[in-house]
Amino acid sequence: MGRLWQTLILMEAYPVFEYLPFETLISKTQKKYYDALSKADKTGKSIVFIEYMLTLIDESLGNMLALKNVTMNDSDRVDYYLSLHKTEFTRKDYMQVFKDISTATASRDLKNGVQQKKIIKTGEYNKAIYKPVKTG
């Protein structure tokens, strides 16, 4: 619950935080996350946890900035968007992340994502809702 509030507070001031995959990075470094929480709890000081979270934020922003210099194809864009762990989204949501693509390109990306069985589409045209295909 604390991570949700953290993300909401950061998003209010800095909308870019909506697109940073905190949950993915935390799950990749779960032991460090719980160690930082434990140390903060034991000492009564949150410095260790704040440093851990700032490191994740720095890594997330670095990864996002690195994407600016990479040419992505439709499959790369869909894969990156799915890594943000959105439960459902619209073409407009998708275009908020990829601001430099046209509406037609976004539609093609999403159509190909459906054909590749990465996402499921319900609805039509600008009312379409997309959901990641559950794996496992």
Name the residue among 74, 56, 68, 72 with its Cα closest to residue 20.
Answer: 56
Residue 93 is inside which H or E element, if any?
helix 91-97
Name the residue among 64, 17, 98, 100 with its Cα closest to residue 113.
Answer: 98
Instruction: Write out the chain's pLDDT in tens, 136 residues.
Output: 677 777 778 777 777 777 777 777 788 888 999 999 999 999 999 999 999 989 988 888 887 777 666 678 899 999 989 988 888 999 999 998 888 899 999 999 999 999 999 999 999 988 999 999 987 6
**Contact status, residue 95 vs residue 101, Cβ threshold 8 Å:** yes
pLDDT of residue 67: 66
Structure tokens at 123: 């609805």
**Contact status, residue 119 vs residue 133, Cβ threshold 8 Å:** yes
pTM above the 0.75 mark?
no
pLDDT of residue 115: 96
